[in-house]
């Protein structure tokens, strides 16, 4: 899939009007430090340093639609309290229109208490609620005025989403030929039949289907509900079970590191709604949603993804191929998170199985693998005027397709000592034709100056780019044991 095609889809996001239905919540975060245990009970004492509020539940879906460039109108229930005013103020600041019914004694709130970036407890404030028939009538009236291009239902099973409301929405979309996407809860499974797209997470899919595997769950739900099913699988990515297609499509996660999955389902629903209403196929919509999910789980708290962040990924020819300044910034951020940086370098001309195994093993020495790639000019100096066979752009693109390669830096120098001094990787990896005595002395000095670890990986017998080229020239079959 060409990134330019996906980028064209995002350019249509601002034209989309999305009606969002669901349980509206206020997410409160209390940040602080714990230095002692309470004398009253064996519990930690948190000294609060900072308090933040975020839009939660269906309001977070609307917030993500807005941050991705679309127009959202939020429907839900809230209480006649100070939390009501906080939510409305945040919605108005983000240009999110709303129809909120003040039928609750208290607005639903989730308070997360964070000590040293670790959530230690969550406190939920909510009440049992049920939707009134007059709300369903009001919804139809308001929807006619809004004329949405798609509907998202964010079902948290708190009371706003009901069989009656879903029936009302189905009637509305059937007359106007628009689609509904539901982020579901198993308790309402029987109300979802015929919905265009349902997006359970792994646990919800298993509970709703009674299955034991992802494949079985998706296939069974697709058949039972006559709906497309997209199962969100956390660190394992997503799996799409589309009607009319027997084979599931699996999308590996785009996240480099999962820090917080809070609200990830809301973000996926938002991205899917904008993509589908912009004319994207289910596959393209899932790819875009997967990119957005990968961005949001790298953030702490109830976060949203900006359209500029998504476009940055899609506009960049390849997010893995970076210059030195970008690499240095990334390395600094990764080291602050306590992650170990691995460096290796080479020509990687005519990438073969030996290269792949070597790079996979190199990645196992740390958390982030940076590959220094010899430029075309430097390969000619090393290998002769007929090399490289593949230009540096092609070699970089092939390397970037390997999931265990995190970043690629193209260099032109005779050795990489300058880059080692700038980046300061924790681990430096060389192939089996090197040992500690044969490493370039400038590189060795740079490594010793900041006490980097040096590792050697034996070459796999039967693999050599030079041998492959010689065999091709002779017209022989290329085999590797």
Tell me which residue of 404, 397, 422, 410 sits closest to 331, measured CA to CA.
422
Question: Hunting for tokens 């601002």 — which residue is that?
Answer: 14
Tell me which residue of 116, 124, 132, 134 sits closest to 156, measured CA to CA.
124
Query: What would you measure as the largest C-alpha separation in the chain, in angstroms?
Result: 84
Question: Hunting for tokens 């017998």 — which residue is that?
Answer: 461
- Tell me the three state secondary structure of residue 254: coil
Question: Hunting for tokens 């309402």 — which residue is that?
Answer: 188
Task: Tell me how far apart the alpha carbons of residues 23 and 74 are, in angstroms, rounded to a whole number.
Answer: 10
Tell me which residue of 178, 169, 166, 238 sits closest to 202, measured CA to CA.
238
Pairing mode, strands 24-37 and 108-115: parallel
Q: Which helix (H) or strand (E) holds 31?
A: strand 24-37
Task: Tell me how far apart the alpha carbons of residues 123 and 103 are, in angstroms, rounded to a whole number.
Answer: 22
Helix, strand, coil percentages in the chain from 3-state DSSP, rounded to 5: 40, 25, 35
No. of helices (H) and no. of strands (E), the chain? 17, 18
Tokens matching residue 230: 């997209």
Residues belonging to the active site: 266
Tell me which residue of 469, 473, 461, 428 sits closest to 447, measured CA to CA.
428
Q: Which helix (H) or strand (E) holds 50?
A: strand 44-57
Task: Tell me how far apart the alpha carbons of residues 118 and 32 are, in angstroms, rounded to a whole number.
Answer: 10
């Amino acid at each position: 899939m060409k990134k330019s095609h996906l980028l064209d889809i995002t350019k249509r996001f601002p034209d989309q009007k999305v009606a969002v239905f669901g349980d509206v919540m206020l997410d409160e975060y209390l940040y602080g430090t714990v230095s002692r245990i309470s004398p009253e009970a064996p519990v930690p004492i948190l000294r609060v340093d900072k308090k933040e509020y975020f839009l939660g539940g269906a309001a977070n879906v609307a917030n993500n639609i807005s941050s991705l460039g679309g127009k959202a109108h939020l429907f839900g229930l809230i209480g006649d309290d100070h939390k009501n005013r906080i939510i409305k103020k945040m919605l108005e600041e983000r240009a999110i229109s709303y129809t909120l019914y003040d039928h609750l004694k208290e607005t639903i709130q989730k308070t997360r208490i964070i000590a040293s970036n670790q959530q230690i407890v969550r406190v939920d404030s909510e009440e049992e609620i049920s939707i009134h028939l007059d709300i369903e009538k009001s919804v139809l009236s308001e929807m006619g005025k809004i004329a949405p291009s798609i509907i998202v239902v964010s079902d948290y099973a708190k009371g706003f989403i009901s069989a009656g409301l879903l029936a009302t929405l189905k009637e509305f979309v059937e007359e106007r030929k628009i689609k509904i996407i539901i982020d579901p809860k198993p308790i309402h499974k029987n109300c979802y039949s015929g919905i265009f797209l349902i997006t359970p997470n792994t646990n919800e899919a298993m509970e709703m289907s009674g299955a034991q595997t992802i494949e079985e769950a998706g296939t069974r739900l697709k058949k039972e509900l006559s709906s497309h099913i997209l199962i969100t699988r956390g660190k394992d990515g997503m799996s799409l079970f589309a009607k009319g297609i027997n084979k599931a499509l699996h999308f590996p996660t785009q996240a480099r590191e999962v820090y917080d999955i809070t609200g990830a389902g809301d973000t996926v629903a938002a991205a899917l709604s904008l993509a589908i209403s912009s004319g994207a196929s289910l596959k393209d919509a899932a790819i875009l949603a997967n990119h957005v999910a990968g961005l949001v789980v790298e953030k702490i708290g109830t976060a949203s993804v900006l359209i500029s962040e998504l476009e940055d990924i899609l506009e960049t020819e390849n997010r893995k191929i970076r210059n030195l300044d970008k690499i240095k910034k990334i390395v600094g951020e990764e080291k602050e998170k306590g992650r170990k940086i691995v460096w290796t370098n080479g020509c990687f001309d005519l990438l073969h199985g030996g290269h792949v195994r070597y790079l996979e093993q190199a990645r196992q020495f740390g958390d982030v693998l940076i590959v220094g790639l010899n430029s075309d000019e430097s390969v000619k100096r090393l290998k002769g005027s007929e090399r490289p066979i593949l230009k540096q752009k092609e070699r970089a693109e092939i390397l970037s397709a390997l999931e265990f390669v995190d970043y690629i830096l193209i260099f032109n120098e005779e050795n990489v000592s300058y880059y080692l001094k700038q980046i300061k990787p924790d681990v430096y990896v060389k192939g089996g034709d090197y040992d500690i005595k044969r490493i370039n002395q400038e590189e060795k000095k740079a490594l010793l100056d900041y006490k980097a670890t040096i590792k050697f990986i034996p070459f796999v017998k039967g693999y050599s780019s030079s041998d492959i080229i010689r065999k091709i020239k002779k017209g022989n079959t290329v085999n590797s044991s």
